[in-house]
Structures are given as structure tokens and as C-alpha cells.
Amino acid sequence: MIVLGLNHGELNSSAAIVKDGKVIAGAAEERFNRQKRTKDFPIRSIEYCLSESGITMGECDYFTQAWNPAALWNKFNPLASGTRILKREYFYTVPDNLYKLLPREEHDWVKMEFEADKNMSSIYYIQHHIAHAANAFYLSNFEEAAILTCDFRGEHESAIFCAGRGNKIEKLQKLDVPNSLGMFYSTFTELLGYEIDSDEWKVMALSAFDVDSDDIYKKIKSTIGLTENGFFELDQSYYKAIRIDQPNLYTDKLVKLLGGKVGSRNDQPSDWHYAVAKAMQQVSEDVCFHMLKHLHDKTGMKNLCISGGFFMNSVFNGKILENSPFENYYVSYAPSDLGNSIGAALYVSHHIHDIPRDDQFNSSLIGPSYSEEEIEITLKRRKISYSKTDAWQKKVAEILAGGDIVALIEGKMEFGERALGNRSILADPRKSDMKDKINAMIKYRESYRPFAPSALKGSASKYFDVPEGFESHYMEQVVQVRKEMRDIIPAVTHVDGSARLQTVDEQVNENLYKIISEFEKLTDVPIVLNTSFNVNGEPIVLSPDDALTTFFNSGLEHLFLGPYYISKLD
């Protein structure tokens, strides 16, 4: 069975192909059209997925979209389904009117069929949060797991509790807007002067600074109440995201509560910024741990799957096992809306059609790659001077050990919002000034934002406060750097001694493993600094052309396109 999954109209459109229950190709549309977090229909992503998998549109058994417009049929919608309508809206308005004579029940999916058109396969529309749940559970390979999804909002829902068993996902409870943990986080992102759905990363970084936030913590916590059913309620006198006819997510009352200040985009962070970010992060963690305890009580399961935009919060993710009753947890390489194309396709395959699950490791490396011939054609077309070496991983390590920064693209592009070695900028983590250098000269972003370490899996426990055998393939969680190692790898140690760790396994990413291994031979340190290959405000690079453009428009000096080496110093 072949299912083409789509995330369209939500943040970061994408497409993915699932064949016989296995994800075989996927990509974000922003990488092709170069419009960060685009909501455009993912035409070019679809074209890639079909080309990569050798499948035609006519061979797809089903299409699926990770959003269910039929969720609006749970009540009559007079403004949309009255007498003054557009004929093209019949797909929605005719069922809505007929439901006036039928029981109205909310369902997790609806199917549209085209029996008269043999060129068009049936389309499944999957509830937004169910797609999130499927993304986490089916990629996890857990046979049984409790599932929590949490983001700004879906059709009505902002969070759901589920139980996953085998092929099936059972929805146990749901939380509807305006009570939303994702919206709560975005409200403070905006209050601090940053852009919602974009700059939450910055707020998470600010929350690590050591300032007195106790008073602000108490004030923020007073605006949110925990409920006996495991969820929470936001005091709507402080939050107004549900009121779409008004500007800002926060009210004047919230501004007054927190000292009468509103941040500006050009502000240099002050103690107020640090304290608000730290307190809000702590309150959001309190709320989510309350939800996890209830979910565990309800399911009795030891495994946990989490998904939704809130769980891009790697600071929270790193605290789950220590602060919840769960023994194991999984968050995928794309828990945000981007990954819902995968989630919707997996749900159709496994839950609806009962296709057996694949228990192999699910790699994020499912995007486009470029052959040496294609790379060389690009270099010659752009009249770029280059050299070629078969031992390019060793050459990368030598440049890094010499104190310089290297950008590279190699192999399949990662699916997700983090570069994991195939579309990355790498540097020496031992250099104390490296973070400021990359932020200022290459990434063009705020100086306080940290960079992640990529460490050989077998060496992680020596440098980080994690057990032997610890795995974090997707930089999905923040851990503490061991105190005795913080002066050894200062460039990847945040102000609170933490780091968003990626462990590198030779079976998962052979080339990055070789680079770090060669770097260790030269320095005795099995770690490199790893950040995404892009500049602030732009999508991560996809192609050799993208890489060359970013290379020449930034302070980068060394670029590897696989074995092809380009230097500004020659």
C-alpha cells in the first residue's frame, strides 16, 4: 500500500511517501521554494517524493491531509452553510446542512472518494492532533505507549491523551482551545518582543539565565489552574489568542501583572527578559508534568510518546524521565506540524488499513541527495574553483582542529527543523569564542543563543550527565554537561551548563561519525559543534546551489559538497 501524506496550510508545508508502512521519502516545501515556514501547497515536495520512490501519482492508493475540515460539522455553521454560499463549497456545506437532520458526532477522520475519476485516489482528512499522535507512536517502534500531543491548536483541540497499542491509537481525552499550552508559550514569546511560531527557540535560550524569577513565577502561575482531569485552564482575562479580531496574544492585564513592560524586537535582553522567560518555562513544565502524571495514572503504561509543536522544547524533553512516572519516551525528528504529513500517512496505513508496522530504526535522512556528477555540474556552471578528495571526512576534521569553521552538505537531507550532519555547519567545541564568532559572522543572530554538540554515542556519558548507551539521535533533549568538562567544550555549553545533545551512531550517519572520529584522533575530543547550514531567517540549504549561495553570502570560509572542497582562502 502506498500513501502520500500532506501537511498543507499549516506551518511548514511538507509531503511524505509511506509504502507498506515504511516512510521512504519526505521533505519540507520551504527547502524548495526558499520561503521559511511556507504554507504553500507542497507541489515540489510531492514531486521529489514521487521521483525518489519511483512512484507515480496513479500508483498511490491513497492521499491524506493532516487536517480534518469535517471537525466543523460537530455543530451547524450558519455563516458558512446558509443560503449565501459559493458553489465550490458544496463539499463542506451540503454535509453540514444534512447533519441538521442527523446526530452530530466528532470523528478523527473523513474520507473523500472519486469513484467516477480513476485518476484520482481517495483522500483521507486526518484530525490534526491524531496526525501528531501517529507521527510519534508509529515512528517510535513501541508496541505499546501512552501518547500526549500538545501545540497551539488543531481544529478545536490543543492537546490529547491517547493510548497506542500495536496498530491502533485510541483517543482517551482531549483539551480544546482556548486552553492551550502552545498558545501560552507563544503569548510570552510575543510579550518579550519576539515573533510567534518562529522565535520560541530564543525564549527557551533566555530561560537558562540565572536570575531571580520567583516573584514572576508566582504571578504567571496564578493565571493558570490545573484541573482534576489532568488538564488546565487559562484565565482568559490574561490571554486573548482566541479573539482573532484583536491584536496581540496578551491582554493589558497580563502586561500590568508583569510590571507594565512589553518587549521590542530590537531590545537587548535584560533581567526582566530573563526572568519572564525562566518563570514561564518553569510554569509550562509544571503544567505538562501535571498532564503526564494523569496520563500515566490513566494508562499504566511505561512508554511515552510525545508530539506537537510544544515538544520542540528540548529543555522540557530532557527532564521527562526524571520528573514523570514514565520509564522510556520518544519524540520524533519532526514533532511539529511539519511532521504531520508523515503522521497522517502512517495513520492511514496502520490504524485505518491495518498494514503491519515496520520495526526498523526510523531515520530522519529521507530527503533529497545529489550525486557527485550533479555537484560537479553545478560547480562548473557557476565557475567555482574546487578540489576533490576521497578522504574528505579527514580533511574536514583537520580544518576543524585548526580552528576554522566548515559548512557541508552530504547525502540525504534531514526531514525536520534540525540539521543532523548532512546540511550542517561544524566547528571546534573547545574554542571559547566559537559561539560568538558563528552567531556574529555566519548565522547573523543573537549572541546568547547556544549551539549543539554532536558526540560519538559511545563517548557521550564521559562528557554529559547521561547514562552509558544514552541516545539522542535528533537533538531532541537538553542535558547537563559534566562540570569537569565544561571548560573543555565551552562553545557548546550554555550559560546554565546545559547542551542540546546529538549522539552520533555509525549505523545512522556514517559520514558524521567519521568526521568526529577523525577530529578525536587530532584533539582527543569526540565532539563537534553542529548547527544548521543557513543564515538567520532562511530555510536550511537543500541543494549545492543553495549551499554555494549561502557560503558566498556569509562569513564562511570552507565548504564541502561531499568530496568537493571550496575555500575562500585559496
Q: Is 84's pLDDT higher than 70?
A: no
Report field, pTM of the whole predicted structure over 0.85: yes
Alpha-carbon distance 208 to 174, whole Å? Answer: 31
**Model pLDDT for residues 290-314, shown as the tens digit of each residue:** 999 999 999 999 999 999 999 999 9
The three state secondary structure string of 175-235 is: EECCCCHHHHHHHHHHHCCCCCCCCHHHHHHHCCCCCCCHHHHHHHHCCEEECCCCCEEEC
Residue 521's pLDDT is 98
Q: What is the mean pLDDT of residues 68-83?
A: 84
Per the prediction, the chain carries an average pLDDT of 95
Q: What is the mean pLDDT of residues 540-564?
A: 97
Of 233, 104, 106, nearest to 159 (Cα)?
Answer: 233
Q: Is 64's pLDDT higher than 70?
A: yes
Q: What is the mean pLDDT of residues 241-259?
A: 87
Confidence of residue 244 (pLDDT cuts 50, 70, 90): low
Alpha-carbon distance 196 to 142, whole Å? Answer: 33
Sign of CA dihedral 235, 236, 239, 241: positive
Cβ proximity of 286 and 312 under 8 Å:
no
Percentage of the residues of the chain whose pLDDT score is greater than 70 = 99
**Model pLDDT for residues 139-178, shown as the tens digit of each residue:** 998 999 999 999 999 999 999 999 999 999 999 999 999 9
Cβ proximity of 566 and 551 under 8 Å:
yes
Alpha-carbon distance 80 to 86, whole Å? Answer: 9
**Model pLDDT for residues 498-531, shown as the tens digit of each residue:** 999 999 999 999 999 999 999 999 999 999 999 9
Delineate the domains of the chain, giving CATH numbers in brackets.
2-140+339-352 (3.30.420.40), 157-334 (3.30.420.40), 372-567 (3.90.870.20)
Q: Is 266's pLDDT higher than 90?
A: no
- Other beta carbons within 10 angstroms of residue 470's beta carbon come to 16
- Alpha-carbon distances, residue 213 vs 27, 201, 265 (angstroms): 41, 19, 22
